[in-house]
Structures are given as structure tokens and as C-alpha cells.
Amino acid sequence: MTTATAEVAAPARPLQIALIGNPNTGKTSLFNSMTGLRQRVGNYPGVTVEKKVGMLFLPSGPANLVDLPGTYSLSATSLDERVVIDVLSGHAAGMPKPDVVICVVDATNLRRNLFLASQIADLDLPMVIALNVWDSAVKQGINIDVDALSKRLGVPVIPTVARKGTGVKSLPAAIADAVDNQRKMVKIEWPEAVSNSVEEIRDAIGDSADVSLTDVEIRRMVFDADSAVLRHLDQVNPGVRKAIEKAREVLRQLGLNPMAAEAVLHYKHLEQLVEGVIRQQGETDAGATESIDRILIHRGWGLVVFLAMMYLVFQSVYSWAGPFMDLIDTAKGWVQGIVGGWFDSTPMLQSLVTDGLIEGVGAFVIFLPQILILFFFIALLEDTGYMARAAFLMDKLLSWCGLNGKSFVPMLSSYACAIPGILATRTIEDPKTRLATILIAPFMSCSARLPVYILLIGAFIEPRYGPWVAGFTLFVMHFVGLAVAIPIAWILTRFVLKSKAQPFVMEMPPYRIPRLRDVVWRMWAGAQEFITRAGTIILAITVIVWALLYFPRPPELAETVTAEFIAEAASANELSPTLIAMELDDPDSELATELGHRVDSAYINQSYMGRMGKAIQPIFAPAGFDWKITVGVLASFPAREVIISTLGVIYSLGGDVDEESGDLRQTIANAHWTEGPLIGKPIFTIPVVLAIMVFFALCQQCGATVAVIAKESSWAWAIGSFIGMTILAWIGAVIVYQVGSLFG
């Protein structure tokens, strides 16, 4: 009987709990402590922009804990805030309406943080208040009567220190209390004029709305300057806007600005609730923070510190990642050798597996060290509170071109890889500003461009002009993309997207000492996001490019090349062709290796990719590119650094060369034109070398970036971005080559 009763009483689904709070309140740290999962800590920028769900075990059974994006209010002005609205209102696809909400509140700033809780109370959801950073409040002499606050608000209030796990064990009982007893926060009592306006608007809507609108949604149309619901209703019933304007006029008659009325009324309501609950003992000590801020956000010294910090970050990204990237590259070669031996009897399958699949996996795995190190520094800078200061510093520069400080970290992230940078734009409220930031992110000199720079600078600039000029050239190449991106953003925001500069308003978080485990988890989360979003795309594109480089493959071509090679080797070594042929029977011999490289070069010469390169070479001729460089450009679409291995194959050195290869550097340095008006002259002159680097600095040779842009905007913008950047890169390369040629 007991079992049957339990079965009847069992819930149809796990309890649904929404975790919400302002940015920088420790919301995600609390999520980690409650579920045992690890996730990105903090909110600004690009953090927790999607719904995150963890399993929580309560006495009543399992529950789903949904970590919602950090938000200051329920006025949906950004993509992540819209996620919050959808989940709390039960409109999120595949996600039921929450049974209870845990609202994380910063105990050091209780009044302002409770504004969000007061808005949620309007949604009629059971609630638990987590008074987080309780230890900081105690240190600052802030005394909060928790029991009195709980009675005033009508919901359980639990002091917590999420980073230390303090108070977390008390939350399950509070959740059960809120659900079982339907503990809902005391709602604001709206003025009668506001309530009457809501009814008038509802009458004006009539049957126009696709769904029945709640009072909360109707009030949102009045309070929000830009409401998606109102824009939709405008198209089917213009009379709704008249009712909205009438309601706003009623607010003006009450002495309230319609856009500020909601905040004014909520804060008045909250002041009554918390009166006598909060007491300040002694003076708040903000001296240390203010002293540090006087330097870090100073227009002069702040910029010096910022530049030094960025130099440290990127110097570390490049220098620390090097040994690990070399190790991955060595491991990739080892795996290719082992696995390739399994398919000796089927050369095409062997090439597909080693040069297509394994090479494709290696093409994105090799960047993991740089991605991990970059996210390590971003986590440190965000968790210490410095990143917000850096965004504040950059706002003045970026506002000139129609962006704002929130565009800074997406641009910074793009220096390692454009993909995490593009994903980080989701916290930019204005969709046009966000799109502009997405479109300029690929201009930042990502790590994939570095091997191209190192190869060409090491082969041509450093031997001729010395290490100082070589280092300066590398610096300039990293700066070129940014120098072009700023005016491009200005053009996009002024003439294409026609967006207005958005005011940059953000709260400066307190300085904190980051926790190592949170930093390590963010490194892992960033790497995982890179692999899942970019890795599969890079792999697919690499296989496609492999096919274009591999086919067609007529067997008679290898026979012809072999016969020519035997005759040439016999003549050079004064040996009979028979002896040469016998030596070629040993696959490990030097001659056999050289012949293999020459056959591969012949195959790529007449492959579909080779034919495409020769066909479009006249387009690149004004930039000084021959067909081999053009094929390298085409083959590098999956990833820019692929041009190096492609040139290695074309010049009969094999595809296992890298940017440090002395043989490749020497070979391209000695390469000459074999036809045309420049016959006999060197191909890789200084103007050509600079033109290639400028082309790669400005082009979008990254299939994964194109795909992510499409996912975050549309395929039209993605393709337009690729075409536009390619044209811009071609123009830049032509100008550099033509001007450089004038000076020899």
C-alpha cells in the first residue's frame, strides 16, 4: 500500500530549479558547489550565455538545477537576458517552467540586488534567496538580520559563501520549504493607474496576440523602450501602440519617466521591505579598491598597465605553448606513421586516414595549448576583476567606431582563435553592435597565422635585416588586422548596419583572489567548446581539401616521374639505371624518399586543387603570387597554416615540414619563375613575402570561423564576410607588392 501510494505521489519529472542572479554575485560558483559540476565563473563577457543544467539530489529526489545567464533585470536587452525570460516564463523550448527559483544576491549590495528578485516575484514563482559573499559583508561591517529579512520578503533566506561552500548544505531544505509551502516573495503593489492601463492595453490587444499575454508581459511593453512583443503586435494591430503611449502618459502624469518608472517603483517597494534589516557597523573600507582603481582606470597609467598586461598575455601564449605544440605535432606524426602502416596495401585509404582524418584532427588539436593558455589568462583577469577595468579603458577607443567596451574581450579572445571571440559577443545587448563585433573578430591576428609569419620572416626578413627588424615585422603583422578592423567597424556601424553607439554601463566588480580550480575548469571549458564547435568543422573541411589535392591520380603519372627520376639519378651519380632501380626498392633509402616527394609533387600539380590554383593564378599575379603560392592559399582554407605543408609537398619536400624547417626555407628562397615575363627571377622577393603575410593577415582562411559566424548570425553574413575579407586581403597584398616593387 505504501509503495503504491509512493508511486502515485511520485513526480512526473525531476524538480526544475532556476538559479539566477546579477553578474559577479558568485552565481555560477554556487552552481558548482551545489551540483559538483564545474563551469565558467563570472559573467562578463561571454560567460554563461547558454542554459547550463546540473543534477541536484534533494531529499525528495533528483532535481535539475538550471544556471541562467547573469542579468540585472528582466528587461530583455541582450541575447542572454532573453534566455532568462524564456526559461522563467516557461517559453523555453524543451524546458519546463521552473518549480522554484534560487535568486543569488550579493550581501554587500543587498538593496540593488533585490531589484531582480522583486521583478521575479511578479512571475508568481516560489523563491529562495541566497545571500552570497556573506563573508565580505561581515568584513565590511554590514549587519543583516536574516530572520527579519526572510519574514519581510516571505521566502527562505540563506547566507552563503559559494566559493568556500559555506551555507550550501542549507539550500536543499530551503528549496523543499519553498516548493512544499509555495513560499513566494512579496509582490510590489502597482499604482491603480498602472493596473487600469494594463486592462486597457489588454482590451486593445483583443484577439491580436498569438498567445494570451500576462500582466507582466503587458507591463514590459510599457516600461521597455524596445519590446519584441510590441513590435509584433504593431504589425497586426496598430491600436496597441496607442494604448501603450496612453499608459506612458499616465506615468508621466504621476511624475514618472516611463523608462525609469519600473525601477523607481520597485526600489520604493524594496526600501519598505528592508527598512531596519540592514545596519552598517563602522565605515566601509573601500580605500584599497579605490587606490588600485586610480591607477588601473587612469587614462594614462591605466593604458600603460593594460599594454604591459596584454604583452605579457600574448608573449606567454606564444612562448609557453610552443613546446606543447611541438609535442602534439610529433605525436601526430608518430600516429600517422603507425596507422599509415596498417594500410600499406591501399594507398588511397592510407592517404585518407593519415593526410585527411589524422591531419584534420591534428589541425585543431595543435591549437589547444594556445587556447588553454589564453583562457587561463582570461580567467585570471576576469576573476581578479581586472577585465572589467580593461573594458572600461577600451570603451573610449571602441565607441569611436560604433562599438563599446563589451566588444573588447571578444576581440582579445580572437587573438588566440576567432571562434571563442565570436561566441563571447553574446553578452553585447545591441544586435547591430554584436554583429559588427562578430564581423571584425576574424581580423584579429589569431594563432593560426603565426606559423606563416614565422616561416616567411625566418626565411627572408631575419637573414637579410636581422632579428630586430624580424621582431618588428612580426609585431606589425599582428597589428595590421586591428588597424584595419577599427575603420571597418566604423564603416559597418555607420553605413551598413546603421547602428548608434550604445552607452557602456557596467558594474566594477570587487578585486578578488581567483581560485585555481575555477581557473583550471574555465581552461577546460574553453578548450571543450573549441573542440566541439570548431574541431568537427575543421576535420570535415580538411577531408574535402584532401580529396581536391589527391584526385585525380592516374597511375601512369607515377610511372613517368619514376622513369625520369631514374634517368636523372643515374646520370648524376654515374650509375646504371638498374642499380638506381634496385636502390629504389628499399623504401627507407634516401633516393626512395626523394622520389616519393617528387611523385607527390607531380600529383598535386595536376590535382583538382592544382588545376584550380593555375586557373586563378592570373587573379593573384598582381600580388606577385605564382601558381604554387595560389594553390597553397586555396589549400589553407581549413586552417591558414596548411599552406606550409602544401608548399612542402609542391616543392617535393613532403608534407611533414613546418615553419622552422630549414629545407623548406632554403627551397623557397631558391625558387625561381620557370615561365612568363619573370622567368629566371626569384619568386619569393621581399615584396612578395610581405604581400603573402598581408594577405593572410586580412583574409578569412578558416572554414570553422565561417561556420561559427553563420551559426551566430546567418550564412549570408558569413559568406559576405568571407568574400569581403578575401577581396580586402587581395587589395592589401596587391598594394604592398606593387609599392614594394617600386623600391626593388
- On whether the CB atoms of residues 301 and 295 are closer than 8 A, the answer is yes
Does 24 carry a binding-site annotation?
A: yes
Does 687 carry a binding-site annotation?
A: no
Phi, psi of 127 (to 5 degrees): -145, 150
- On whether the CB atoms of residues 409 and 398 are closer than 8 A, the answer is no
Does 25 carry a binding-site annotation?
A: yes
Determine if residue 680 is left, alpha or beta; phi over 0 gives left, psi from -120 to 50 gives alpha, anything else beta.
left
Does 32 carry a binding-site annotation?
A: yes
| DSSP state at residue 457 | I
Name residue 355's amino acid: D
Does 83 carry a binding-site annotation?
A: no
- Compute how many other C-beta atoms are within 10 angstroms of the C-beta atom of residue 617: 17
Specify the residue for cell string 591520380.
553
C-alpha 75, offset from chain centre: 24
Does 48 carry a binding-site annotation?
A: yes
Can you spell out the DSSP letters for 9-50? HS-SSPEEEEEEE-TTSSHHHHHHHHHS-------TTTSS-S
Phi, psi of 13 (to 5 degrees): -150, 160
- In sequence order, the β-bridge partners of residue 63 are 15, 56
Does 113 carry a binding-site annotation?
A: no
- On whether the CB atoms of residues 270 and 115 are closer than 8 A, the answer is yes
CA 40/CA 375 separation, integer angstroms: 10
- Compute how many other C-beta atoms are within 10 angstroms of the C-beta atom of residue 207: 7
- On whether the CB atoms of residues 343 and 351 are closer than 8 A, the answer is no
- Compute how many other C-beta atoms are within 10 angstroms of the C-beta atom of residue 128: 27
Does 49 carry a binding-site annotation?
A: yes
Name residue 584's amino acid: L
Does 67 carry a binding-site annotation?
A: yes
| DSSP state at residue 624 | T
Does 58 carry a binding-site annotation?
A: no
- Length in residues, the chain: 744
Does 237 carry a binding-site annotation?
A: no
Task: State the cell numbers at 543.
Answer: 577531408
Does 132 carry a binding-site annotation?
A: yes
Does 430 carry a binding-site annotation?
A: no
Does 591 carry a binding-site annotation?
A: no
Does 305 carry a binding-site annotation?
A: no
Does 384 carry a binding-site annotation?
A: no
Does 133 carry a binding-site annotation?
A: yes
CA 245/CA 230 separation, integer angstroms: 11
Q: Which residue numbers belong to the known binding site for Mg(2+)?
A: 32-33, 35-36
Q: Which residue numbers belong to the known binding site?
A: 21-28, 32-33, 35-36, 46-50, 67-70, 132-135
Q: Which residue numbers belong to the known binding site for GTP?
A: 21-28, 46-50, 67-70, 132-135
